[in-house]
Structure 1
């Protein structure tokens, strides 16, 4: 029986269970999901009733890379925020395998998680740090003239940073980072583009009522399909009833995991505090195949955040302090610190191609005997890899028209 992780990991929210590699894998995936939920709650705080999306994968990747260069208190604070440390060889080996699997895009799907480290020309780097970064999640180092006035704005266009269910949607996303005095810049991209395993028919889309978070009702373009889906009905620790639906993408490379209150009078603000990694994992394992009428609104959400205040509230303080940051592992020198942490996320969900709102209420009556999942009120969504539970993005839809 392998030993528990070293004492250096005492900051973990809960310990990895004893046992073989499968127990370690489950423990790490729960930690990853826990990070996603903490990030979602922290970033969404104060914006109740609005559309929202954030990519935990795009936020955790730069923090993992910074761990390779962080030492002392800075390293401990990063481990506390992530819930794990990449310095543990078992954690490193597991994440190597997960990130390698994500790079293997299948036919009809594009999936990539990557990070580019832009380095000021002439900045010395530790060979060990360079090797670790170059092996991490399709990451790379690239020389750049960051200190020149003309290079004050860095534009990274390595991926679309969008999640799209139809071909031809999305496009390049441009991250702008102020770098007038920078020596290093970390830019992460998360790309996922695919079609549904069973596509929504554009001729079945129609205008249907959606009750928004504020209580008023709008007519919104609602997609429809009748299909075999993974479905379940559960209740959270406070007794709130929810419906959970999983819609797979082509070849099951990912799925859209939807959490919908059964009662239209239950706001998402009552559900969100009770969502935990273990609850999500439990629900996902208890879904059952069912033939259903599925109604899902088209939606498009884009958010941008400065993550400094979130990380500071989590105890990551030294990283942003030029006098306290300890990133000597990057080059063996003092002076490196993080001045800004900007995150931009976008999600777009649609049936493929141009839609035609041509269906009538007769369609609903004809299929009324089949169980119905109708997302006609605010819901929470996860874009995740179904075999591992790895969360690409998490968000909520409060008003599909915004």
Structure 2
């Protein structure tokens, strides 16, 4: 399961950086787990160079490395098949028989205040606020706060990366990778404390056509009618992927969130007053993740509410 989680985080951040570079100044939101799963289904039917490109972009080399000696080339269980079995275990942990699309914050953000959101130009927005006990860390090197808002069942949480002081989000984005993400959000670096949280209400509904993004990452043959090898799906010649489209929706309000689709000198718990302030009145990054497996379900950037 750890190998799939690692692939998920690395693929998520690859996609985020591509979207971020191609949509400068815009809000970003997508489901990394949905994309990973959809492309892994294509991988089941891919062969040759097409399959190799997909495996590399999806970072499934981690799953190969975790296989026992002699099992990697086993005809009884292909690598793609094993990946799907891991997905099955993961989804069984995430999904509950009575689950729905609405995720309720464990400590709901009651009340609203009007506040200025600084985004190059200032706009007035409704900010939710509450005083509660949350996990919080401060990354000194980047002047960044890391806040975790748990959902009711404690299986999922929202992680927010917020620059503070004179820092800006570009500095965080430049340093963001799978290693730093795990380091910044690890339980050893997050301390529970009383926090006054200010978070804007926001809704995001974004649709992406991902052909060019996936090509940039290295999946090229899949979109080429001549080069694509999907012979594991069908013997029909000329089978290829014509278009990859991803659409996701997010609504963050007082009622919760509705969504569809290491230690070191650089990290420390800041010496804060008895009550810490977390004021998200400027652009930030956020992630909704499965706590037990550290799998990222959704990733986004709020540039403007």
Q: Structure 1 residues 297 and 30 mapped into 2: Cα distance closer, same or farther (>3 Å)? A: same
Q: Distance in 1 between matches of 2:280 and 2:126?
A: 12
2:184 counterpart of 1:283? yes
Equivalent runs, 1:350-369 vs 2, <5 Å = 350-352=253-255
Q: CA RMSD in A?
A: 1.9
Q: Distance in 2 between matches of 1:31 and 1:302?
A: 25
Equivalent runs, 1:106-255 vs 2, <5 Å = 109-110=99-100, 192-201=101-110, 204-212=111-119, 214=120, 216-235=121-140, 239-255=141-157
The TM-score, its normalising length taken from structure 1, stands at 0.64
Q: Which residue is 2:290 aligned to?
A: 385
> 1:127-185: CA deviations, max 9, x gaps?
xxxxxxxxxxxxxxxxxxxxxxxxxxxxxxxxxxxxxxxxxxxxxxxxxxxxxxxxxxx
CA contact (8 A) 1:254 1:383 kept: yes
| Superposition deviation, residue 387 in structure 1 | 1.2
CA contact (8 A) 1:48 1:269 kept: no
| Superposition deviation, residue 105 in structure 1 | 4.8
Q: Which residue is 2:92 aligned to?
A: 100
Q: Which residue is 1:266 aligned to?
A: 167
CA contact (8 A) 1:52 1:302 kept: no
CA contact (8 A) 1:229 1:246 kept: yes
Q: Distance in 2 between matches of 1:305 and 1:283?
A: 29
| Superposition deviation, residue 234 in structure 1 | 1.2
Q: Distance in 2 between matches of 1:350 and 1:250?
A: 15
Equivalent runs, 1:16-95 vs 2, <5 Å = 25-84=1-60, 87-88=78-79, 91-95=83-87
Q: Distance in 1 between matches of 2:11 and 2:226?
A: 28
- Among candidates 292, 307, 322, match of residue 225 of structure 2: 322
2:234 counterpart of 1:345? no
Kindly tell me the number of residue pairs found equivalent between the two proteins. Answer: 271
- Among candidates 294, 306, 311, match of residue 214 of structure 2: 311
> 1:204-248: CA deviations, max 9, x gaps?
211012211x1x32221010111111111114xxx3221000001
- Among candidates 171, 175, 198, match of residue 295 of structure 1: 198
| Superposition deviation, residue 103 in structure 1 | 2.5
SS at match of 1:326: coil
CA contact (8 A) 1:30 1:278 kept: no
CA contact (8 A) 2:288 2:298 kept: yes
Q: Distance in 2 between matches of 1:298 and 1:312?
A: 35
Q: Structure 1 residues 392 and 57 mapped into 2: Cα distance closer, same or farther (>3 Å)? A: same
2:278 counterpart of 1:373? yes
> 1:323-355: CA deviations, max 9, x gaps?
1111011123323211011111221100029xx
The TM-score, its normalising length taken from structure 2, stands at 0.83
SS at match of 1:78: helix
Q: Which residue is 2:264 aligned to?
A: none
Structure 1 or 2, whichever has the larger Rg, is: 1
SS at match of 2:149: strand
Q: Which residue is 1:3 aligned to?
A: none
* Structure 1: unaligned runs, 5 residues or longer: 1-24, 111-191, 354-367
CA contact (8 A) 1:196 1:249 kept: yes
* Structure 2: unaligned runs, 5 residues or longer: 64-77, 257-272
CA contact (8 A) 2:169 2:283 kept: yes
| Superposition deviation, residue 53 in structure 1 | 0.9
